[in-house]
């Protein structure tokens, strides 16, 4: 077990502590600049116009009335827009749709961008956009998961093989004494970050600067460069603050490119923000799923067979697969497992990653089926989960790097008071309300990529960390500061952090819950290198109290280098630089997954417990308590980590009870395209939420033992709620969301 990246602890170690967000004051003061807030002199405003048919061609464009609006500068359509190259998704150019905007007259879905009106004011652009007349030649479209154009995995699906098979699941199911055969459905859901996507694009000659609400500045930079056919170094993308993303800002959507195309065309900076309605068409969604689970078991509840068949959808231009069967491959001990996905290709807007893609709907279906199995076996549902605990990953045939799921079940149950659960449904009441308890398993892969970070110590001794990573409200600013602060023996609020800029040392997408595991070791490495350089400077300086000493003899503390065991011999960082005649020291550190992770399956786990109260007359469900117990490795910041988990559980409550995007059957367009019709949880929907961490460091994942924790919080929540609703009412809802009419 290695902790070599850490310097000896100062008096104020901050890793693990509930450190307040260093960016908090800026945010609450309204002073954190989000993309659309970027002040740019002379900027024009662009408003997008979108197709109103699902499939066909543009037959005619009449822009006379639109161009007559005072203040309109230009109207871009396929006829006059700058030519750009069509991109296909890969991990350097993360374009979620194979669709170059405004390049041809073909309509591929209702909501596709077909024009951008550029004007001196937003109001003029919006008025002209409403006056633009576009006539279409419509063709027959496929809009329904039950009637697709084709059903297959998309050609350029970039993820792991979603199919899996071991043993003989069909025969084992047929022979099993207890069988559950049930189909669960989940609707389309939308990310709905508070901040809609927005772009401010500015060309300086052939150089492009873009402020964009993105989870991946380097991905956006690469896409812009590739689309315009220019070198990536000529493009800079900045995204220092992101008002939520949940996956929709993880990829490069067409509006960012259109803003840059418009700016190029008119020779002025252009600002473009998606409307809330456009967030439902143009930044992805979670696809609907239909999941049939056949689960066979012995009478003692031990699993004999699982077959999980997932049907989902994508657009004809997006290679996305909602891999709901992914967790079924390994989550429980079972010798006979079959997981199969099929994807209906439709003429609809493109889906993408959203809040634990795959795992969120998958753990709902699997967690519900296992609960059904528990009742069929006459077992406590938690006992059934325990009995089927997987000690190894049978899908990969690998041991786990670090798995403490049984501890999550045990500690969660104890804190929740699971033993107070009555075995039978409809057996617990509080006044008029039926009360139910539910439990389900949470899981998310522990991913890691490679990253770099730069630590600079300035002439006045200030410490700055820079990396092209992102903070979506997740807390990255603060944990980066903590890691550097512990290395230098200072307080986190004494460290300056710069992130969200493609010109900084590279970091990956803020997705897949991998930023913490990826970026913090690079920061630790950069800090170690910077300190080593400072020690070398002091060691060579005859005037320094540290003259002739090596790294082993010195620690950094309180803005100084101090001789180990002799605090009286110290040199302030500023004095080290001054004494050496050096203006500043900058060191780039890097970290990447190494051999330590080979041959191991790496996941975070958890147990979700909920209590619901159901009004038997109205069918209303209220979650009255929720508790998540998680095994997520070492926790860097107890406060931001807890907040992440609370956020995930809140989204799980939304998924279970509220969220549903409804398509117009005639066009495929979403009719619930606003926050009045698309329901997300509000404070009144949210009960007290408890979060527990089983803090077992995972040193196979990275030297700090820390895993990312963005997405696991939502997993298992919808199943736990559906299971609690069954326990309360005796009604099994297999179709999310659990709205009142499904309980009457």
The contact set with ligand MOS (CB under 6 A) reads 215, 245-247, 250, 353-355, 357, 511-512, 711
Q: At a CB cut-off of 8 Å and minimum separation 6, what does 424 contact?
A: none
Closer residue to ligand MOS, CB minimum distance, 301 or 511: 511
C-alpha count within 13 angstroms, C-beta hemisphere, residue 583: 0
- How near is the Cβ of 651 to ligand MOS at its closest, in Å? 11
Name which of 91 and 618 has its Cβ closer to ligand MOS. Answer: 91
In angstroms, give the least distance from the CB of 245 to ligand MOS.
6
Other C-beta atoms closer than 10 Å to the C-beta of 414 total: 12
Measured from the CB atom, the residue of 241 and 726 that comes closer to ligand MOS is 241
Report d(CA 290, CA 269) in Å as an integer.
45
Q: Residue 300 CB, nearest distance to ligand MOS (Å)?
A: 38
Q: Name the packing angle between helices 638-657 and 359-377 (round to 10°).
A: 70
Alpha-carbon gap, residue 303 to 166, rounded angstroms = 14
Read off the tokens for 696: 């077992």
Give strand ranges (E) for 480-602: 495-498, 554-557, 560-563, 566-572, 585-591
Q: How far apart (Å, rounded) are the C-alpha atoms in residues 151 and 506?
A: 38
Cα dihedral 659, 277, 144, 327 sign: negative
Query: How far apart are the C-alpha atoms of 168 and 178, rounded to whole Å?
Result: 17
566 bridge partner residues = 563
Whole-angstrom Cα distance, residue 741 to residue 671? 20
Instruction: Give the whole-angstrom CA distance, residue 62 versus residue 76.
Output: 12
3-state secondary structure of 247: coil
Closest separation in Å from C-beta 247 to ligand MOS: 3
CA angle 292, 295, 299 (to 5 degrees): 155
Q: Is 585 exposed, middle or buried, given 0-12, 13-18 or 19+ CB atoms closer than 10 A? A: buried
Strand order of the β-sheet with 603-614 is 428-430, 433-445, 603-614, 621-631, 689-693
- In the complex, what is the shortest distance from the CB of residue 249 to ligand MOS, in angstroms, rounded to a whole number? 8
Which residue's C-beta sits nearest to ligand MOS?
247
Catalytic residue among 396, 419, 711, 741: 711
d(CA 260, CA 236): 12
Closest CB to ligand MOS among 199 and 513? 513
- 202 in Cβ contact with 46 (< 8 Å): no
Shortest reach from residue 33's CB to ligand MOS, in Å: 22
CA-nearest of 546, 543, 518, 527 to 709 is 518
Minimum gap (Å) between residue 284 Cβ and ligand MOS: 9
Q: Give whichever of 512 and 628 is closer to ligand MOS, judged by the CB atom.
A: 512
Residue with smaller CB distance to ligand MOS, 227 or 712: 712
Q: How far is CA 285 from the centre of its chain?
A: 12
User: Cβ of residue 715: shortest distance to ligand MOS, in angstroms?
Assistant: 12
Nearer to ligand MOS, 250 or 438 (CB): 250
- E-strand spans in 478-557? 495-498, 554-557
Distance of alpha carbon 87 from alpha carbon 572, whole angstroms: 52
Residue 322: CB atoms within 10 Å = 30
Q: Is the dihedral of CA 426, 429, 434, 439 positive or negative?
A: negative
Q: Give min distance, CB of 329 to ligand MOS, in A.
A: 19
Q: Rounded distance, CA 625 to CA 415, Å?
A: 12
Tell me the closest approach of the beta carbon of residue 212 to ligand MOS, in angstroms: 15
Complex with ligand MOS: residue 247 or 492, whichever CB lies closer: 247
Nearest distance in Å: CB 276, ligand MOS: 19
Tokens of 201: 């694009």
Task: Report in angstroms the alpha-carbon separations of 347 from 122, 165, 352, 512.
Answer: 31, 31, 15, 27
711 annotated active-site: yes
> Among candidates 246, 257, 484, which has minimal Cα distance to 354?
246
Instruction: Identify the helix (H) or strand (E) that includes residue 266.
Output: helix 254-266
Task: State which residue, 514 or 612, has the beta carbon closest to ligand MOS.
Answer: 514
Read off the tokens for 642. 């807890």
Least distance (Å) between residue 513 CB and ligand MOS? 7
Between 214 and 388, CB nearer to ligand MOS: 214
Q: How far is the CB of 508 from ligand MOS (least distance, A)?
A: 11
Question: 282 or 544, CB closer to ligand MOS?
Answer: 282
Beta-strand pair 495-498/463-466 = parallel
Rounded to an integer, what is the distance from CA 172 to the centroid of its chain? 37
- Whether the CB-CB separation of 511 and 358 falls below 8 Å is answered with no
Both tokens assigned to 244: 């939520």
SS3 of 679, please? Answer: coil
User: Which of residues 55 and 470 has its CB atom nearest to ligand MOS in the complex?
Assistant: 470
Distance separating alpha carbons of residues 742 and 208, to the nearest angstrom? 52
Q: How far apart are the first and last CA of the chain?
A: 56
- Compare residues 77 and 715 and give the one whose CB is closer to ligand MOS: 715
Catalytic positions? 711
């Amino acid at each position: 077990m290695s902790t070599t990246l850490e310097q000896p602890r100062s008096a104020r170690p901050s890793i693990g502590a509930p450190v307040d967000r260093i960016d908090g004051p800026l945010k609450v003061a309204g002073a954190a600049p989000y993309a659309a807030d970027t002040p740019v002199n002379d900027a024009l405003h662009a408003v997008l116009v979108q197709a109103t048919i699902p499939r066909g061609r543009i037959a005619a464009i009449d822009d006379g009335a639109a161009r007559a609006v005072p203040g309109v500068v230009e109207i871009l359509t396929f006829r006059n827009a700058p030519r750009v190259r069509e991109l296909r998704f890969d991990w350097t150019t993360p374009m979620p749709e194979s669709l170059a905007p405004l390049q041809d007259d073909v309509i591929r879905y209702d909501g596709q961008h077909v024009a951008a009106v550029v004007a001196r004011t937003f109001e003029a652009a919006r008025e002209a956009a409403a006056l633009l007349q576009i006539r279409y030649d419509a063709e027959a479209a496929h809009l329904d998961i039950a009637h697709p154009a084709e059903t297959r995995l998309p050609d350029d699906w970039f993820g792991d093989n979603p199919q899996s098979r071991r043993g003989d699941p069909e025969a084992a199911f047929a022979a099993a004494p207890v069988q559950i055969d049930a189909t669960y459905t989940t609707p389309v859901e939308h990310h709905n970050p508070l901040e809609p996507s927005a772009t401010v694009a500015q060309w300086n000659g052939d150089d492009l600067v873009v402020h964009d609400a993105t989870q991946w500045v380097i991905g956006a930079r690469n896409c812009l460069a590739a689309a315009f056919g220019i070198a990536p170094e000529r493009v800079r993308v900045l995204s220092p603050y992101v008002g939520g993303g949940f996956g929709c800002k993880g990829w490069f959507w067409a509006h960012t490119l259109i803003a840059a195309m418009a700016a190029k065309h008119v020779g002025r900076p252009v600002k473009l923000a998606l409307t809330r309605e456009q967030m439902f068409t143009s930044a992805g969604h979670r696809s609907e799923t239909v999941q049939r689970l056949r689960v066979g078991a012995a009478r003692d509840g031990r699993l004999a067979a699982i077959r999980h068949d997932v049907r989902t959808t994508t657009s004809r231009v997006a290679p996305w697969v909602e891999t709901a069967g992914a967790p079924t491959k390994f989550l429980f001990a079972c010798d006979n497992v079959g997981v199969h996905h099929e994807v209906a290709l439709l003429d609809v807007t493109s889906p993408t990653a959203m809040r634990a893609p795959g795992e969120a709907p998958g753990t709902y279906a699997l967690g519900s089926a296992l609960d059904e199995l528990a009742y069929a076996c006459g077992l406590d549902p938690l006992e059934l989960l325990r009995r089927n605990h997987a000690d190894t990953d049978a899908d990969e045939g690998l041991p786990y790097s670090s798995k403490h799921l049984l501890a999550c079940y045990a500690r969660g149950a104890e804190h929740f008071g699971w033993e107070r659960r009555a075995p039978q449904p409809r057996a617990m009441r509080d006044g008029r309300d039926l009360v139910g308890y539910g439990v389900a398993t949470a899981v998310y892969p522990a991913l890691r990529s490679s990253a770099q970070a730069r630590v600079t110590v300035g002439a006045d001794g200030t410490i700055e960390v820079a990396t092209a990573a992102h903070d979506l409200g997740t807390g990255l600013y603060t944990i980066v500061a903590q890691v550097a602060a512990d290395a230098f023996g200072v307080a986190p609020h004494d460290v300056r952090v710069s992130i969200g800029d493609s010109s900084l040392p590279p970091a990956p997408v803020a997705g897949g819950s991998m930023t913490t595991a990826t970026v913090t070791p690079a920061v630790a490495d950069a800090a170690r290198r910077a300190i080593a350089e400072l020690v070398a400077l002091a060691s060579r300086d005859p005037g320094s109290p540290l003259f002739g000493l090596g790294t082993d003899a010195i620690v950094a503390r309180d803005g100084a280098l101090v001789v180990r065991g002799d605090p009286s011999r110290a040199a302030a960082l500023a004095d080290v630089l001054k004494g050496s005649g050096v203006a500043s020291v900058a060191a780039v550190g890097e970290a990447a997954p190494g051999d330590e992770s080979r041959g191991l399956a790496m996941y975070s786990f958890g147990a979700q417990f909920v209590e619901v109260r159901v009004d038997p007359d109205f069918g209303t469900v209220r979650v009255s308590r929720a508790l998540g117990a998680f095994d997520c490795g070492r926790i860097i910041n107890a406060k931001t980590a807890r907040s992440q988990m609370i956020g995930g559980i809140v989204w799980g409550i939304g998924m279970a009870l509220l969220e549903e995007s409804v398509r117009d059957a005639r066009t495929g367009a979403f009719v619930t395209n606003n926050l009045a019709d698309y329901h997300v949880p509000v404070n009144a929907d949210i009960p007290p939420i408890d979060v527990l961490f089983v803090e077992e460091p995972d040193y196979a994942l990275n030297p700090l033992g820390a895993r990312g924790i963005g997405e696991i919080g939502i997993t298992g929540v919808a199943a736990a709620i559906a299971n609690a609703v069954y326990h309360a009412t005796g009604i099994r809802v297999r179709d999310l969301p659990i709205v009142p009419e499904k309980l009457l």
